[in-house]
């Protein structure tokens, strides 16, 4: 799951490139939902897990993608042609690209199986291995997923460094796309941006900056006020109690 | 007015809108905005429906200039690397978990911090950055709970990301004395024992957690 999740978060997957202009009208969420279905072939439940959303939300995103696509491509066969085209690109990857992707896959899977943070109990180990194998078997689908976005389709691509991603084409966000944006609440809270960004720092300051006064390098730091506010209204600093 | 009518009347007067599973119950202008969700509306969970409604409500309340600004912010956001977006989402999620009085306090701190000279701001940032990563994250719980949780930072070490909000809520729900007891207990456990304690606490009903901590402390 980690493998797919990381994959779905690849920057190139979320940005439209000149080679993906057919999908550039879609916003990132619906585009990822569509690709997971078309190229990854994941069922609803697994695709929802990969994107970290509930299955109904995934279905919603997929519907949104298909609707947008259909509006731009009234031909009912267009979607099938897109799928075939994407899968064709996968089959034409160079050996080196495949090798790099396999390496990415291996590293992701190692992250699953050897993570010290894994919360699974010992009895869960066989299941974990099974899942790792399961996801490993899906590696070919990963090739498809990455290849359709990370690298432009260039049959004559030279070995060595991967071709750079072309400059992105920002999708047009119409009003319906804006209101279903998953980060709408965060982006709409512009007035609190600084407070949110520095929440941890500000909380620490508000509690009196504990842990710094005994540090020689920080003895000249302003000390917090008695009311847990480190800075007076005029910008001066009050002494700690 | 009959007593049972008071609650819906108060909700209505306060502008509270219950977002049900019938799409047609939404205001007409919101239905237009959320038309793409209509087919799946009844299957969406209540939280998702509520968020979509809130988004649409907020959008419709904005003047055109504010909409343009938000649209531009959204496009700039979408152009950020996913890792950067994820990094910025974390404090927002923590922000939402604060109560309103804490948000007011942090807003005030932000204004005061912004009024400091740049070199003093940097000194504070540098000092904060010297703490461990987990210590820094603990302060995302807000000034009050962050201070009480800092001694518990070992409980947060190696915690899988999806489990962190649950653990933060757990700490938030504990009584102050129970948090002190938990800090004492966590300090004398090794990593495996802390992991077990964390799992046990999460699996225990909130009302029984204080007793569990005392029991483990007495062992």
* Chain A nearest CA to B164, separation (Å): 12
Domains in chain B: how many in total? 2
Closest to A57 (Cβ–Cβ): which among B44, B54, B120?
B44
- Are B125 and B188 part of one and the same domain? no
**Angle separating helix axes A95-113 and A139-147, nearest 10 degrees:** 120
Q: Which residues contact A34 (CB under 8 A, 6 or more apart)?
A: A23, A26, A62, A65, A66, A69
What's this model's pTM, rounded to 2 decimal places?
A: 0.52
Q: Is B55 on the interface with A (CB under 8 A)?
A: yes
pLDDT at A21: 56
CB within 8 Å of chain B, chain A residues 168-187: 168, 170-171, 173, 175-176, 178-181, 183-187
Token pair of B57, please?
A: 């409500």
The mean pLDDT of A191-205, rounded to a whole number, is 94
A 54-93: CB under 8 A from B? 54, 56-57, 59-60, 63-64, 67
* Residues A85, A38 contacting (CB under 8 angstroms): no
Which one of B37, B71, B109 has the shortest CB-CB distance to A202?
B109
Spatial distance between the Cα atoms of B28 and A226, rounded to a whole number of angstroms? 52
For tokens 């009234």, the residue is: A74
Residues of B whose CB is below 8 A from A173 = 71, 74-75
CA distance, residue A222 to nearest chain B CA (Å): 8
Q: According to the model, what pLDDT value does residue B217 have?
A: 86
Residue B199 lies in a domain: yes
Is residue B7 in some structural domain?
Answer: no
Q: Alpha helix (H) ranges present in chain B?
A: 6-13, 28-33, 46-61, 64-78, 82-97, 100-115, 118-129, 133-138, 143-149, 153-156, 164-173, 176-187, 191-203, 206-218
pLDDT, residue A218, reads 35
Calculate how close chain B gets to A79, using CA atoms only, in Å. Answer: 19
Domain boundary among B85, B111, B130: B130
* Residue ranges of chain B with per-residue pLDDT less than 50: 1-16
Tens of pLDDT, residue by residue over A152-188, are 333 333 333 333 333 445 566 889 989 999 899 999 9
Residues A26 and A136 in one domain: yes
For range A186-209, the mean pLDDT: 92
Q: Are residue A212 and residue A194 in the same domain, yes or no?
A: yes
Residues A174 and A202 in one domain: no
A167 and A62 share one domain: yes
Q: Write the pLDDT tens digit of every residue in A76-113.
A: 777 777 877 777 776 666 666 666 666 655 655 554 44
Give whole-number Cα distances, B56 to A125, A179, B32, B67, in Å: 45, 6, 10, 12
A167 vs B: CB within 8 A:
no
A115 DSSP 8-state letter: -
Any domain includes B26: no
Confidence of residue A130 (pLDDT cuts 50, 70, 90): very low
Q: Contact at 8 Å (CB) between A153 and A92? A: yes
Report how many domains make up chain A.
2
A211 and A150 share one domain: no
In angstroms, the CA B164 to CA B167 distance is: 5
Kindly state whether residues A61 and A178 are assigned to the same domain: yes
Nearest chain B alpha carbon to A119: B160
pLDDT in tens, B60-85: 999 999 999 999 999 999 888 888 88
Subunit contact A11:B92, Cβ cutoff 8 A = no
Residue B107's domain comprises 96-130
B200 and B147 within one domain: yes
Q: Are residues B139 and B183 in the same domain?
A: yes
Quick one: A215 and A202 in the same domain?
yes
Report the DSSP beta bridge partners of residue A231. A237
**Phi and psi at residue A231, to the nearest 5°:** -125, 130
* Count of pairs with CB atoms under 8 A, one residue in A, one in B: 222
DSSP class per residue in A12-53: HHHS--GGGGGGTTS-HHHHHHHHIIIII---HHHHHHHHTS
CB contact B51 to A (< 8 Å): yes
Burial of A27 (0-12, 13-18, 19+ CB in 10 A): buried
Residue A106's pLDDT is 60
In degrees, rounded to 5, the angle at the alpha carbon of residue A184 between the alpha carbons of residues A183 and A190 is 105
Give the best-scoring range by mean pLDDT among A6-15, A23-32, A71-80, A187-196: A187-196
State residue B85's pLDDT score.
Answer: 86
| % of chain A with per-residue pLDDT over 90 | 11
Q: Indicate the residue among A184, A201, A219 that finishes a domain.
A: A184
Higher pLDDT, B125 or A214: B125
A199, B106 contact by CB (below 8 A): yes
Instruction: Summarize the confidence of residues A5-28 as an average pLDDT.
Output: 55
Task: Give Cα separations from A23 to A10, A17, A33, A44 (angstroms).
Answer: 16, 9, 12, 20
Same domain for A134 and A172?
A: yes
pLDDT score recorded for residue A170: 57
8-state DSSP, B122: H
> Of B39, B58, B125, which is closest to A188 when you measure between CB atoms?
B58
Report the candidate in B215, B141, B147, B139 with the shortest Cα–Cα distance to residue B172. B141
Same domain, A12 and A52: yes
d(CA A142, CA A239): 58
How far apart are the C-alpha atoms of B160 and B164, rounded to whole Å?
Answer: 7
- The answer to whether residues A195 and B109 touch, using CB atoms and an 8 Å cutoff, is yes
SS3 assignment, position B183: helix
Do the domain assignments include residue B123? yes
Residues A139 and A199 placed together within one structural domain of the fold: no
Q: Which domain holds residue A166?
A: 2-184
Nearest Cα neighbor of A35 from A74, A66, A60, A11 is A66
State whether B121 and B181 are in the same domain: no
Q: Do A178 and B74 touch (CB under 8 A)?
A: yes
Strand-pairing partners, residue A237, are A231
Complex confidence, ipTM = 0.74
Looking at every residue in chain A, the average pLDDT score rounds to 61
Is A226's Cβ below 8 Å from some Cβ in B? no
Residue A53 confidence (pLDDT)? 75
Contact call for B36 and A10, based on CB within 8 A: no
Please check whether residue B197 lies inside any domain of the structure: yes
Whether A150 and A232 map to the same domain: the answer is no
In a domain, B185, yes or no: yes
A101, A9: one domain: yes
């Amino acid at each position: 799951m980690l493998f797919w999740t990381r994959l779905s978060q690849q920057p190139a997957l979320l940005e439209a490139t000149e080679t993906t202009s057919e999908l550039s009208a879609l916003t990132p969420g619906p585009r990822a939902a569509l690709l997971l279905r078309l190229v990854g072939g994941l069922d609803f439940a697994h695709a929802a897990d990969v994107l970290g959303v509930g299955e109904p939300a995934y279905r919603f995103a997929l519907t949104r993608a298909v609707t947008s696509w259909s509006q731009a491509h009234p031909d009912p066969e267009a979607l099938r042609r897109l799928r075939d085209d994407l899968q064709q690109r996968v089959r034409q990857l160079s050996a080196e690209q495949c090798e790099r992707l396999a390496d990415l896959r291996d590293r992701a899977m190692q992250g699953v199986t050897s993570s010290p943070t894994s919360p699974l109990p010992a009895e869960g180990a066989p299941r974990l291995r099974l899942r790792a194998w399961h996801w490993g078997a899906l590696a070919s689908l990963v090739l498809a997923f990455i290849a359709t976005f990370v690298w432009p389709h260039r049959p004559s691509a030279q070995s060595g460094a991967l071709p750079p991603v072309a400059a992105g084409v920002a999708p047009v966000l119409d009003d319906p796309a804006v209101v279903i944006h998953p980060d709408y609440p965060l982006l709409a809270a512009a007035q609190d941006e600084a407070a949110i960004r520095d929440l941890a720092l500000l909380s620490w300051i508000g509690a009196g900056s504990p842990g710094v006064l005994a540090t020689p390098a920080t003895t000249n730091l302003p000390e917090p006020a008695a009311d847990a506010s480190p800075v007076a209204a005029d910008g001066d600093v009050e002494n700690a109690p | 007015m009959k007593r049972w009518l008071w609650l819906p009347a108060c909700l209505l007067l306060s502008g509270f809108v219950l977002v049900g599973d019938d799409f047609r119950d939404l205001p007409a202008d919101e239905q237009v905005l959320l038309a793409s969700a209509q087919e799946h509306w009844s299957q969406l969970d209540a939280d998702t429906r509520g968020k979509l409604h809130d988004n649409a409500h907020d959008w419709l309340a904005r003047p055109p200039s504010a909409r343009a600004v938000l649209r531009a912010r959204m496009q700039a956001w979408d152009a950020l690397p996913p890792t950067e977006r994820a990094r910025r989402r974390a404090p927002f999620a923590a922000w939402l978990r604060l109560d309103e009085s804490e948000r007011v306090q942090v807003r005030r701190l932000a204004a005061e911090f912004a009024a400091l000279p740049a070199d003093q701001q940097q000194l504070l940032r540098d000092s904060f950055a010297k703490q461990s990563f987990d210590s820094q994250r603990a302060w995302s719980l807000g000034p009050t709970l962050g201070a009480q949780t800092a001694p518990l930072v070992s409980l947060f070490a190696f915690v899988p990301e999806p489990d962190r909000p649950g653990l933060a809520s757990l700490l938030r729900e504990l009584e102050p004395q129970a948090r002190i007891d938990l800090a004492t207990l966590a300090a004398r456990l090794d990593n495996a024992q802390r992991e077990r304690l964390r799992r046990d606490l999460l699996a225990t009903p909130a009302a029984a957690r204080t007793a569990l901590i005392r029991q483990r402390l007495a062992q």
